[in-house]
């Protein structure tokens, strides 16, 4: 079966940006600026302005942003960080690679996001930070996490990698705790043309430390003097130059994503409870992926594939059951909701350049599956 509606339609997605990409390469080729130079500085200023953060620190990826911020907070041996059992690996791997312990907590079935009550129950005397993540089209309950962090004197770091441009309770995603991070991985709503990320914080000292850590622990202007053991986690000028061109369009692109999500919501809601769409009301949310829950996920997926519609599974295995985290000693049954979602979650195609009518076609194909008496 030929693909009719691809999940990642790269040719369609990059068509609008082809001229910008070529022009940015030309610009950079004619300059002697490659890494952490004027475009990166302008991008930092733009993100700080957009989010109201006192500091935006550009780094090499969203994973790099988490790595640098956890190091800047001084997290390490013996420290615990409470984080979701169901997320992208970086939310927890960056903690473990610091020598700290990711303490998993279960997520909410409706959203797939960290459950505040479960997170608070996981806090111990060793807990130093809470690290909730934004996933799919949802935003964690940041107000509740801010209260828990205050109650237990914890750092609150937002894995808002997917959520630049979203708001929770009238405040930008990434701005509810001590620091937030964004990813510019190409598939993200604010995707660039390579790996890149950003840290935002109001804390002057944390920002100063993060700036050193991203560049081998060197303070500004002191080359080959290493105040800290740092990383090579720097943003390049090509990506920054491209993002400077793309970000002015981000709100429009997010709006288009919300429109497509609304088509799915309207068409798929009647199929509940056999198929459960994500919570409706996309205003202010960053719709990265549109993830439904279906008990017959594999059959539905095969049915859609048979009609040329590609889908994706985020995430087929929860973090506590990944071999990389075996040393933490978790096992099957520890986080039942995360495990259920890893069996049921299915992402339908959604990106701003989808052809008109494509989402309606997906709705029709999904509806046919359930109309066939399943
Ligand atoms: C929730 C979450 N956290 C962190 C990351 C890491 O971002 P990057 O791919 O830029 O390292 C991602 C990206 O895939 C993500 O989805």
- Angle ∠(207,80,65) on CA atoms, nearest 5: 30
Q: Are residues 243 and 275 in the same domain?
A: no
Alpha carbon distance 278, 331 (integer Å): 27
| Cβ 185 under 6 angstroms from ligand 1 | yes
Q: Which of 247, 269, 295 lies at the terminal end of a domain, its last residue?
A: 247
Tens digits of per-residue pLDDT, 324-371?
999 999 999 999 999 999 999 999 999 999 999 999 999 999 999 999
DSSP label at 334? S
Rounded distance from Cα 90 to ligand 1 centre (Å): 6
Residue nearest to atom 7 of ligand 1 (CA): 62
Q: How many CB atoms lie within 10 A of CB 23?
A: 13
Q: Which domain holds residue 41?
A: 12-105+112-247
104 bridge partner residues: 83
E strand or H helix at 58, and its extent?
Answer: strand 55-59
CB contact at 8 A, 238 and 194: yes
Tens-digit pLDDT profile for residues 192-243:
999 999 999 999 999 999 999 999 999 999 999 999 999 999 999 999 999 9
Going by pLDDT thresholds of 50, 70 and 90, the confidence category of residue 281 is: very high
Nearest to 118 by CA among 338, 318, 342: 338
Between CA 300 and CA 297 the distance in angstroms is 5
CA of 62 from ligand 1 middle (Å) equals 5
**Which residue among 247, 273, 299 closes a domain?**
247
Percent of all residues in the chain with a pLDDT value above 90, rounded to a whole number: 96
Interaxial angle between packed helices 62-72 and 90-97, expressed in degrees from 0 to 180 and rounded to the nearest 10 = 40
Residues 227 and 312 in one domain: no
CB 36 near ligand 1, within 6 Å: no
pLDDT at 374 over 70: no
- For ligand 1, say whether the CB of 93 is within 6 Å of any of its atoms: no
Q: Is the pLDDT of residue 27 over 80?
A: yes
Tell me the whole-structure pTM to 2 decimals.
Answer: 0.97
59 domain residue, yes or no: yes
Q: How confident is the model at residue 12 (pLDDT cuts 50, 70, 90)?
A: confident
Asked if residue 273 has a cis previous peptide bond (ω within 30° of 0), the answer is yes
61 ligand 1 Cβ < 6 A = yes
Q: Are residues 230 and 259 in the same domain?
A: no
């Amino acid at each position: 079966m030929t693909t009719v509606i691809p999940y990642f339609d790269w040719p369609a997605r990059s068509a609008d940006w082809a001229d910008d990409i070529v022009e940015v390469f030309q610009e950079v080729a004619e300059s002697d600026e490659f890494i952490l130079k004027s475009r990166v500085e302008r991008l930092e200023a733009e993100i700080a302005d957009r989010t109201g953060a006192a500091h935006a620190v550009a780094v090499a990826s969203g994973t790099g942003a988490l790595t640098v911020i956890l190091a800047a907070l001084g997290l390490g041996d013996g420290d615990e960080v409470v984080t979701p059992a169901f997320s992208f690996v970086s939310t927890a791997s960056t903690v473990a690679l610091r020598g700290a312990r990711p303490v998993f907590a279960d997520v909410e079935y409706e959203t797939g996001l960290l459950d505040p009550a479960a997170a608070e129950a996981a806090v111990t005397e060793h807990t130093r930070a809470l690290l909730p993540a934004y996933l799919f089209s949802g935003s964690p309950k940041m107000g509740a996490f801010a209260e828990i962090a205050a109650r237990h004197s914890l750092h609150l770091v937002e894995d808002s990698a997917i959520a630049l441009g979203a708001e929770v309770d009238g405040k930008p995603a990434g701005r509810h705790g001590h620091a937030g991070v964004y990813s510019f991985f190409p598939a993200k709503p604010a995707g660039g043309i390579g790996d890149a990320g950003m840290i935002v914080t109001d804390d002057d000292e944390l920002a100063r430390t993060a700036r050193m850590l991203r560049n081998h622990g060197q303070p500004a202007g002191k080359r080959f003097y290493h105040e800290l053991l740092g990383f090579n986690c720097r943003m390049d000028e090509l990506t920054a130059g491209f993002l400077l061109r793309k970000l002015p369009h981000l709100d429009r692109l997010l709006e288009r994503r919300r429109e497509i999500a609304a088509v799915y919501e309207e068409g798929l809601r009647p199929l509940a409870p056999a198929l459960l769409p994500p919570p409706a009301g996309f205003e202010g949310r960053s719709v990265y992926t549109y993830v439904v829950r279906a008990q017959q996920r594999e059959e539905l997926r095969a049915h859609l594939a048979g009609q040329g519609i590609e889908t994706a599974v985020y995430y087929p295995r929860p973090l506590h059951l990944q071999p990389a985290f075996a040393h933490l000693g978790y096992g099957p049954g520890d986080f039942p909701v995360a495990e259920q979602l890893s069996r049921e979650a299915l992402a339908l195609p959604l990106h701003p350049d989808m052809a008109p009518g494509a989402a309606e076609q997906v709705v029709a194909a999904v509806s046919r599956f359930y109309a066939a008496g399943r």
